[in-house]
Amino acid sequence: MKKIILLLLIVFTFLISSFSLSLEEAKELALKNNPELLSKIEAKRSSNWSLFNSRLDLFPGVSLSGSYMEYDPTIPAMSPPFEQVSAESFSLVVSQPVFNGGKIWLGSGIQRDLSEIASHNLTSQELKTISEVESKYFSVLEMSEFLKIAELDLKLAQLNLGTAEVRYKLGTISRAEYLNMKSQVASKEVTLIQTQNRYELSILDLSKFLQIPKDFTVEPLPLEQYEDWIESVRKQDQGSFQEILNQVLEIAQLNNPTLKISDLSTSMKLKSLKMAKGNFLPSVNLSYSKSWDKADYEEDYSDQSISMVTVSIPIFSYANHYAEYQKAKHDLEESKYSTQSTQDNITLLIEQSFYNLISSARMVYSAKIALDFAEETYEQMSVRYQNNIISSQDLLDVEILLTSSRNQYINSYYDFLRAKSSLLNQMGEKNENILFKLFN
């Protein structure tokens, strides 16, 4: 008993010294502090600069160079032909690829696809982070509710033990029944300690994910805010479910980042195939150079300009280019099949999440009815036990039923919230109101 009082005091002290954390605040902290998300942000910034660099290749290249030389007449190798002491030289070179099989343009297009993939990876990580923080937040709330149930269960067991002690002294129950009641109290003490440990671990898990100290409590999510929606789900027929599912799939087709990444990968493979075809074509480059030279005995610079068009035709590398073309061709086909597989997998995951949401919503409703009946049954049986109408075993059976009903109700409620979070993640949506509107 002293251990239980001490445990409750620790819990009370913990709750007093902690600060309150809402779900929205937890999401903001996760989006601000999560290392995986921060790494995706840096990857996106890096891809933006790579895209910028690839676009610079589309413009002419300009280089300016200069040199200065001094002659030492004491060294025969450096002796100039005239009485020359120094010389200066400057040159300007401008080069522009005119045609190279589209490599530069297609390469820039590939970098653009890579930049978009980085954006979708960032979006995917944001959705994943939100889903994970919600799951961890729900786990804390769930463990908190289980802790309350364990505390209440222990109090009921202690109250019934008090009644059993009186009845045992009066000789109306056997010693075996009395010891059974004491055993139940001890068992529920162990359950309370185990539940408290799981609650502490869930708090620690959330705090590590948010990168904050663990001295906080989470704000509850009352069932009332989802009650109307759960009721609307329960009343839907199978035909309505299929119509809503089709709308969910349409939203996912537009927003799911994994699908977009898969499409972009196919687009990149197509560009690579076009680049491989361009290897068989000649390349044309235009260049212009101008130089200025001046010796120390000359008054003005002498200049020279050269314009040049260079055409290069591959002859002996056709076999290599053909192998590259065949490889790019098969890579494209592989990417198409991979995209189809990804599409099928995402569709399956969405359908599973959708029907999990429906079943969990129905389970919340059924579990609430079962809990109401269990509470009413326990109240009646408790009175009958105190009046020596039923045995202690009958009361224990009802206690087990009540505890199981409470746990089932809490579990079904948070299963519903987790199913909602999972479906939103697959849809590529952050706002749950979009999902709720579909059912209304």
The answer to whether 410 and 363 have CB atoms below 8 angstroms apart is no
Residue 356 CB neighbour total at 10 angstroms: 17
Phi, psi of 286 (to 5 degrees): -115, 135
Q: Which helix (H) or strand (E) is 69 found in, with range?
A: strand 61-70
pTM of full prediction above 0.85? no
- Give dist(CA 79, CA 69) in Å, integer: 12
pLDDT score of 103: 81
The answer to whether 275 and 113 have CB atoms below 8 angstroms apart is no
Phi, psi of 80 (to 5 degrees): -75, 160
How far from 227 is each of 231, 232, 367, 373, 399, CA to CA, in Å? Answer: 6, 9, 13, 19, 27
Q: What is the pLDDT along the chain (440 residues), one digit of tens a residue?
A: 444 444 444 444 444 446 788 889 999 999 998 888 999 999 999 989 988 888 887 788 888 888 887 766 665 555 555 555 677 888 888 888 877 777 888 888 889 999 999 999 999 999 999 999 999 999 999 999 899 888 988 888 888 888 888 878 888 778 888 888 888 889 889 989 999 999 999 999 999 999 888 888 888 887 777 888 888 887 777 778 889 999 999 999 999 999 999 999 999 999 888 888 888 888 888 888 888 887 776 777 777 888 888 888 777 677 787 888 888 889 899 999 999 999 999 999 999 999 999 888 889 889 989 989 988 988 888 888 778 787 777 877 888 888 888 889 989 999 999 999 999 999 999 888 888 888 87
The one-letter amino acid code at 179 reads: L
The answer to whether 231 and 407 have CB atoms below 8 angstroms apart is no
pLDDT score of 266: 92
Long-range pairs, 297-304, Cβ under 8 A, ≥24: 297/82, 297/83, 297/84, 301/88, 301/90
Angle (CA) 146-149-150 rounded to 5° is: 85
Q: Which of 257, 304, 19, 278 is nearest to 123 (CA)?
A: 257
- Give dist(CA 181, CA 154) in Å, integer: 11
pLDDT score of 15: 44
pLDDT score of 100: 78
Long-range pairs, 319-327, Cβ under 8 A, ≥24: 321/276, 321/279, 321/280, 324/276, 324/279, 325/273, 325/276, 325/277, 325/279, 325/280, 327/276
- Give dist(CA 107, CA 109) in Å, integer: 5
DSSP string, 191-207: HHHHHHHHHHHHHHHHH
